[in-house]
Amino acid sequence: MPPILEAIHVQKYFGAFQALNDVSLAVSRGEVVCVIGPSGSGKSTLLRCISQLESIDGGVITIDGEIAGFRLRGDSLSPLTDSQIARQRQHVGMVFQRFNLFPHRSVMQNLLEGPVRIQRRPVEDCRREALALLTRVGLAEKADAYPNELSGGQQQRVAIARALAMHPKILLFDEPTSALDPELVGEVLSVMKELALSGMTMVVVTHEIAFCREVADRVVFMDAGAIIAAGTPDDMIVHPQNPRVANFISAVL
């Protein structure tokens, strides 16, 4: 089957700074890809481009065969409208470092916002599904709580449930444990492992090397805006052949 996600020769600039340099990556349906590398290497920028929170300056990104942000007309690409881009974004769930929950809405209201207001699905159907998702992440009893009443780990699990409520084809995680106290990291990684086992397609930017080794189908290493190595967890973490990757893994561990 064709890849569900493909980035082809993607370029991204912020002024004169090149954040992504000729990045190509294909992700198969049901695959878990962990992206590692030093801070500032372009990992988060790549996720933001895939989710169309940032526009790209060269190359192309496709999601399930659709060109992200553009429509092919003859031999040329024409930009999509904002509403068309919003429709495409529904296929890509994004879990951020800082949770990004609506602070003035309850947990249940956070989960209902997208399915009801954007996808216009029946409220009661969405409510039943939201409760099932909260049960899945171990937070059914927190449906009426507000974000400031939750720990960081609980907020991140709500954020994962909120992303799942939109029925995404792929989930992106941008260092989902980096803002958590060490004792809360495990509860979030446990939910992510369950998602991986269920067959969810995931691209995870993380420094959790043990998680990569246990869960990833493939590990990608980025440096200076480029992908410089990729392979199985064994190839990349246990027996890295690339000296830059070996130095990074040694420092992190």
pLDDT along the chain (253 residues), means of 10: 94 97 97 96 96 93 92 83 89 91 95 93 96 96 96 95 96 94 92 95 95 96 97 95 95 87
Cα(38)–Cα(222) distance, rounded to whole angstroms? 8
Cα(45)–Cα(239) distance, rounded to whole angstroms? 28
Sign of the dihedral defined by the CA atoms of residues 122, 124, 128, 130, in that order: positive
Q: What is the pTM (predicted TM-score) of this model?
A: 0.94
Give the pLDDT score at 12: 97
Cα(20)–Cα(22) distance, rounded to whole angstroms? 6
Question: Where would I find the H helices in the chain?
Answer: 43-50, 82-89, 107-112, 123-136, 152-164, 182-197, 209-215, 233, 243-252
Give the pLDDT score at 253: 81
Cα(58)–Cα(61) distance, rounded to whole angstroms? 10
Give the pLDDT score at 244: 95
Cα(68)–Cα(66) distance, rounded to whole angstroms? 6
Give the pLDDT score at 77: 82
Cα(164)–Cα(166) distance, rounded to whole angstroms? 5
SS3 of residue 239 by DSSP: coil
